[in-house]
Amino acid sequence: MDERKTRAERIAQKVRKKQHMVRVAMGEEKADLVLKNADYVNVFSNEICHGDIAVAEGLIVGMGDYSGRTEVDVAGKVVVPGFVDAHIHLESSLVSPVSFARAVLPHGTTTVITDPHEIANVCGCAGIDYMIAESENLPLDVHFMLPSCVPSMPFEESGAVLTWRDINAYFDHPRILGLAEMMNYPGVIRGDRTTIEKIVVSQAHHKKIDGHAPGLSGHALDAYMSAGVYSDHECFTAEEGMEKLRKGQFIMIREGTAAQNLEALMPLLNWKTASRCMFCTDDKHPWDLLHKGHIDYICRKAVALGADPILVVKCASHTAARYFLLNNKGGISPGYLADFAVLKDLHDFEVERVFKRGKLVYDGNDVAIEEPFVDPDIRAAVEHSFHMPDVTAGALQKEGSLPLIGLIEGSIVTENLGRAAGVDPENDICKLATAERHHNTGHLAVCYVKGYGLRRGAVATSIAHDSHNLIGCGVDDDDLALAMNRARDIGGGLVVAEGGRVLYELPLPIAGLFSESPLEEINAKLERCKEDAHLLGVHPGIDPFMSLSFVALPVIPSLRLTTKGVFNLDTLSFADQTM
């Protein structure tokens, strides 16, 4: 009886709110908030409209002539729907979801769809639980796609292995929207059972399945899409994007820190094809967030490259909302969430105010946000994630020639440069090492890398996509061992060493991936680590740590260093067994 009464009270409360909204919409009662004299982007009629925007109970209830208990005059400004990042790994910001929210709200972002596969590769379900808890009740809506590839390839030594049974229970969570980027596209097109199982389970819950298939085309793309993959964010050329779009995929145009594809995909941003396009960042590092922006940066760049500003706003908000079935987001319309940004204009996309559910969360100076409560046990489960022995200089010494990986400036794709016989700083050849850090196996793989530039000392990082084992690069074995061991001892992070001493370090104690410190503090330490690495010789056009982190990712062509040796994605085989 008590339960029925409680349910009836909840329904009655919702009815009262709805009745209030109707009366406000009719002009019979004052709105909670009114943006007066607004020029706003109408994503339905593809024009700029004018009128007051009335808000009640966190929803837009009308546009026209309204009065409100709070009124904000936005004459001369442009109001747009809150921006949506269609695909991001929050861990890439090196800070917690709370600090990330503080960083992106001033840029007009009100919704992100994140794939927590970085922390899941380290901590499994405990990592997903932490990210959900840490992002609860923020003034930034954080939706999740469940990691599809933990590990990214079956042979990877990650901290956890997630099967369809592990992720199945999460689909009922209201913020879970589907299955994240299916990176194991070779497994899909081969019909691998464990891979297909995750797609089938996601479809059974009527959820989306995102893709990750760089360069896939022809019958292989047909097979990948037939399995149920609806989108792709890995298009590097307009031709690739058009083939995938013609076959029915949604294209997430990515402009992040690690990969920038907007300029190449600009031919898709026209009124004929842009209805299938949305924006994403994938990975966004602290400096970019602080100095370039977020989705607003993509908008600004797209307009500068010649795109229609109204079309750009649609790709930055409406398309992603429709794709993910967020049916009350991505537009300024009665019944939609009152999530919008007030811009100075549609050229520079300078954000002056941000409203979330009708509440002012950014006033041009400060962000209104409270720390969510996270159970201490949930937090403890993602700390102290290193379980590995010392890396010794002797173990780093290998006889004979080893595979040589070639870095390409400005790209995460690598080249197969054959083999090298040893470190040769004069010819830009350094030693690369990866150590397994989750299960105390002692596995250590070594090869050589060209194009990095290091001439002295060593660097190490615990961010090594996607299994996040410990990776380091050096020209001196003692310094390389020192840097890798120090990264382990501080619970994960970045380390620069030379001459037997640590020059600088950035601890990242949450799963060895990020920190709960403020973004500004993390950025300052990160930039100092980069500066010291560049002083040791790393090429100016190379990010010392991001470059290493992607050299370990075996789902990107062509050569990658894993704990089991150098993997060649082109041949799906190991170039050399260096363990």
Q: Write the secondary structure of 495-524 as one string of H (helix), E (strand) and C (coil).
A: EEEECCEEEEEEECCECCCEECCCHHHHHH
- Give the mean model confidence (pLDDT) for residues 388-394: 97
* Residue 471 in this model has a pLDDT that exceeds 70: yes
* Residue 579 in this model has a pLDDT that exceeds 60: no
* CATH of residue 343: 3.20.20.140
What pLDDT does 578 receive? 40
Is 18 part of any domain? no
What pLDDT does 154 receive? 85
Residues 406 and 305 in one domain: no
Tokens of 75: 């004459």
Is 67 part of any domain? no
Is 49 part of any domain? no
Q: Is 560 helix (H, G, I), strand (E, B) or coil?
A: strand
* 78 vs 50: CA distance, rounded Å: 10
What pLDDT does 37 receive? 98
pLDDT tens-digit profile of 170-196? 999 999 999 999 998 989 999 999 999
Q: Model's pTM, two decimal places?
A: 0.93
Residues 559 and 423 in one domain: yes
Tokens of 383: 């700390």
Residues 401 and 355 in one domain: no
Residues 442 and 318 in one domain: no
* Residue 576 in this model has a pLDDT that exceeds 70: no
Q: Is 282 helix (H, G, I), strand (E, B) or coil?
A: strand
- Helices (H), strands (E): how many in the chain? 19, 27
Select from 60, 57, 66, 56 the least CA-distant residue to 79.
60
- Full residue range of the structural domain in which residue 451 is found: 393-576
- Give the mean model confidence (pLDDT) for residues 497-502: 98
pLDDT tens-digit profile of 41-53? 999 999 999 999 9
* Residue 31 in this model has a pLDDT that exceeds 50: yes
pLDDT tens-digit profile of 78-90? 999 999 999 999 9
* 86 vs 17: CA distance, rounded Å: 31
Residues 471 and 325 in one domain: no
Is 86 part of any domain? yes
Give the domain-ending residue among 343, 363, 383: 363
Q: Are 201 and 167 in contact (CB under 8 A)?
A: yes
pLDDT tens-digit profile of 529-573? 999 999 999 999 899 999 999 999 998 889 999 999 999 988 989
- Which residues have C-beta within 8 Å of that of residue 17, sequence separation ≥ 6? 57
pLDDT tens-digit profile of 332-382? 999 999 999 999 999 999 999 999 999 999 999 989 788 788 889 999 999
Q: Determine what percent of the chain is predicted with pLDDT higher than 90.
A: 91
The Cα angle at residue 535 between residues 529 and 539, in degrees rounded to 5: 95
Please give the tally of structural domains in the chain.
2
